[in-house]
């Protein structure tokens, strides 16, 4: 919350506390970075079966969702206001469908050699791939839910390798 | 799945079935459209308390997340490959934090007068607002999870008013 | 400023007052809209003379600045967070250089048939055209100043025709 | 070519002739518009065979190219400076590979109900789909050529239906 | 101004002089770069007071304007045609309101380690933040003016540290 | 073509073969890279003469096309789904018109110091510059054709210097 502060000169400083900013990463070393994120899309088994078969009104959903995820990863700094621009060296989006359970699991991997991590790139990739799946099945099932969007693993940077449960 | 078909002329047609396309909405009437979507971000209660207080390393998170969601709604057709461009007449993103439970509920509303619905705009708004919250708290807690991203309500179009549980 | 409010359920509502939103224009009628904006770029007379002659390190500045302004007008809703998307029917950017006075006057005109005005499109066009002029002369003069960015005229909408001094 | 003209007041008008502008389409009626464009990508027969088989270093090229073309159509006004924004009602990109001849023919169709035609949207769709094919086969063959990018058909607007040879 | 030149082969070379280009910075060393720019927005004192209080029709303007400025800095190469892409390491936008004088001063700071300076990123940040303030107060006051957009300081590169008056 | 594979756990893996991905360039060394591409635009001699004279309905086409090509080069990773983001150090677009033959030859040069080549940036620059020329002459001649879009030269990277016929 922005907290205006009145200073003796009568000028109102709005930036005292809470002011959003892109934090300075200029002094951090360039290291290899990896992040793996995951999302789940829950639908009816019959819809998941059509997803696997590529039999949906807008066409075969899986390649579209993977490409949408890859492209979104590259645009992360445009979408997430305080993210730094990062030259990604690799992005992969994988979708595994368990038709019986009615679940599509989206896994996204982002890599870079940079001063800051690529968690947001991986998280954005899986979110947008999941949204695209939603878009492509929504004509068939309206109450599909995207859930468990989370980071699974990251390597590089000060915190080193981290595996999340 | 693209299914190449060999026709008598020896030409391989790749578009027989499964070919992704932006479906034609040219014959659908222009009607008022509304969609409300929702997402939840789960974090520790102490992190939720700092979110409410605007006390996070990158600054006050809530206005940033709301604006990120609004801007993302406008860019939905760039992110979701088979979505049509829509001139939104209104977008709102609301964030309610239950600090005790450690949950932020993001609600997004999109409106337009168009030939096609605005579900994806509302879903994209809440997803990107949730990703932005994730970005702003991740320095404090690493295993924050975005969950239950779903449509709550839609009005307009052939299916009329729909309330989802 | 976001003002958190505690309600009886214990939930913190952050949206009570001050919450940024794209205001709803769905009920406003579609009318013809025009806006004319202006900016001035002040430089040394010798720099202005080189601008007229097209003799600058990055090439002829004036077509570049005009095109940059036109393209920026189309991207106004991406740049200005709470602006609505508008289908512009015309954009023009004009640059008049008074080499003796060392001034370039940028005039931008935007037109649309829409529910909301095109002031921001005209203002964005002249601002980005002026920034582009700055970029193209800055190798020659460092302290160029952009000034008097303002709306000159608007037509259409509830307020009708308005001429600003 | 910009032609500076000196007027009696000593002001240099750069906009007399040749000044680029987005022409005003505000007075044109809204009509249904269609445009079909085409491009050819010429490669070795063995490369075309791998394209059909989806056996290329970056993966299956055809769905990627089709989606790239569809997405590019939507971004035409950002790429082509003097194009108007258009709310496309449909976009399709089709790719036919003649493996024996070593040719991929890309056909793009754009539709809208608007004041101006959608030729550039169809042309941009096939160009970017062809560039994407080039990107995906270039590791296998370096001298692939994109050729015969042209409009095949347009309907709607003042000129009515036009079929190009 | 583009100057077509007729050469003996009968070919018209349009690029002889004045042709716009992104100048080659490949041979310049990577150094730490900082730029600070400033803009002023002039409004009535009562409007400035509402700006400080966050009491405006579209909501609390200051966080929106700061975020718009930060995001615009990242998109500078898209807006300013001949600017190079730069991986910014930090961006900050600060707004000080002197309600009595009716002035908002926008200060923008951009940092990078790159081959070329970040002046345009700082200038673009303050311009777009100022345009956003304009957008958010224009319903209350129509003749708000953005003025004195200029560079205040730059460090790094061949010219070293420069302070502008 | 995506090939779903059923594994013993009952999970359908869609990524076995053919799955599109941004290949990992993280282990490739950073080297200086150049690429030169070319496109031809074929029109009637009288239209080519008007192009040279800058006498076209939307204004002087050549500076617009050059700038469109430069800007498109910077946006290549947004347009071509599996391209990596590259910090270009230079982009040039040159247009030579042979009015007698009715041909405009567009030459685009891209440079960078990066882990991957800049062929797609040069190819995208000439394609979008050619599309822009098409847009600017299409009111005068409808059946203009873009042809021979190809790479002419590349330097840097594993394959060293390559000259294409």
**Is residue A77, in this structure, part of any structural domain at all?**
yes
B10-61 confidence digits (pLDDT tens): 444 334 446 888 999 999 999 999 999 999 999 999 999 999 998 898 888 9
CA distances from F116 to A77, A88, E17, F27 (A): 21, 12, 32, 10
Residue B55 confidence (pLDDT): 86
Judge contact between F109 and F90, C-beta under 8 A: yes
Output the 3-class SS for A15-63: CCCCCCCECCCCCCCCEEEEEEEEEEEECCHHHHHHHHHCCCCCCCHHH
What ipTM goes with this model?
0.92
Interface contact A21-E99, CB threshold 8 A? no
pTM of the model: 0.92
Residues at the binding site of D are 82-84, 120-121
CA distances from C66 to B163, C62, C107, D92 (A): 49, 6, 10, 33
Task: Report the percentage of chain D scoring pLDDT > 70.
Answer: 89
Interface contact E146-C124, CB threshold 8 A? no
B84 pLDDT higher than 60: yes
Report the b/e string of F106-143 with b at 16+ CB within 10 A.
bbbbbbbbbbbbbbbbbbbbbbbbbbbbbbbbbebbee
Residues of A in contact with F20 (CB under 8 A): 63, 66-67, 70
Output the 3-class SS for E99-158: CCCCEEEEEEEEEEEECCCCHHHHHHHHHHHHHHHHHHHCCCCCCCEEEEEEEEEEECCC
Task: Report the percentage of chain F scoring pLDDT > 70.
Answer: 89
D15 pLDDT higher than 60: no
Q: How far apart are CA E129 and CA C161, in angstroms?
A: 27
Interchain CB contact of A33 with F (< 8 Å): no
**What is the mean pLDDT of the segment spanning C46-50?**
96
Interface contact D81-C94, CB threshold 8 A? no
Is F83 marked as a binding-site residue?
yes
Interface contact E52-A12, CB threshold 8 A? yes
**What is the mean pLDDT of the segment spanning C144-163?**
94
E83-136 confidence digits (pLDDT tens): 999 989 999 999 999 999 999 999 999 999 999 999 999 999 999 999 999 999
Residues of F in contact with D38 (CB under 8 A): none
**Is residue C54, in this structure, part of any structural domain at all?**
yes
Residue B18 confidence (pLDDT): 66
**Is residue F165, in this structure, part of any structural domain at all?**
no
**Is residue C69, in this structure, part of any structural domain at all?**
yes
Residue D8 confidence (pLDDT): 44
Catalytically annotated residues of A: 135
Task: Report the percentage of chain A scoring pLDDT > 70.
Answer: 89
Report the b/e string of B1-34 with b at 16+ CB within 10 A.
bbebeeeeeebbbbbeebbbbbbbbeeeeebebb
**Is residue F1, in this structure, part of any structural domain at all?**
no
- For residue D56, the domain's CATH number is 3.30.70.640
Q: What part of F 4-23 touches B (C-beta under 8 Å)? A: 4
Place D149 in a pLDDT band, splitting at 50, 70 and 90: very high
**Is residue B137, in this structure, part of any structural domain at all?**
yes
C7-25 confidence digits (pLDDT tens): 444 444 334 446 888 999 9
Q: How far apart are CA F126 and CA F113, in angstroms?
A: 21
**What is the mean pLDDT of the segment spanning A115-119?**
95
Residue A73 confidence (pLDDT): 98
- For residue B100, count other CB atoms closer than 10 A to its CB: 12
F6-19 confidence digits (pLDDT tens): 444 444 433 444 68
Residue C10 confidence (pLDDT): 45
A77-114 confidence digits (pLDDT tens): 999 999 999 989 999 999 999 999 999 999 999 999 99
**Residues spanned by the domain of D48:** 31-157
Residues of A in contact with E90 (CB under 8 A): 21-26
Q: How many domains in chain E? A: 1
F1 pLDDT higher than 50: no
CA distances from C104 to A39, C95, D13, E3 (A): 53, 6, 10, 22
**Is residue B49, in this structure, part of any structural domain at all?**
yes
Interchain CB contact of B67 with E (< 8 Å): yes
Q: Which of residues A16 and D130 earns the better pLDDT score?
A: D130
Identify the active-site residue in F24, F27, F114, F135.
F135
Residues at the binding site of D for substrate are 82-84, 120-121
D72-124 confidence digits (pLDDT tens): 999 999 999 999 999 899 999 999 999 999 999 999 999 999 999 999 999 99
**Is residue E13, in this structure, part of any structural domain at all?**
no
Residue F18 confidence (pLDDT): 66
D31 pLDDT higher than 60: yes
Is C120 marked as a binding-site residue?
yes
Q: Which of residues A165 and E47 earns the better pLDDT score?
A: E47
């Amino acid at each position: 919350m922005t907290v205006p502060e009145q200073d003796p000169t009568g000028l109102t400083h709005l930036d005292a506390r809470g002011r959003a900013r892109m934090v300075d990463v200029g002094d951090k070393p360039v290291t290899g970075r990896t992040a793996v994120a995951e999302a789940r899309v829950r639908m009816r088994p019959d819809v998941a079966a059509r997803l696997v078969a590529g039999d949906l009104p807008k066409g075969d959903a899986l390649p579209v969702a993977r490409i949408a995820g890859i492209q979104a990863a590259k645009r992360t700094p445009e979408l997430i206001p305080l993210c730094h621009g990062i030259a990604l060296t690799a992005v992969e989006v994988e979708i595994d469908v368990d038709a019986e359970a009615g679940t599509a699991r989206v896994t996204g991997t982002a890599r870079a050699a940079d001063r800051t991590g690529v968690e947001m790139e991986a998280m954005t990739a899986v979110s947008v791939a999941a949204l695209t799946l939603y878009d492509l099945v929504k004509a068939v099932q309206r109450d599909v839910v995207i859930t468990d969007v989370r980071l699974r693993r990251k390597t590089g940077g000060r915190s080193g390798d981290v595996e999340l449960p």
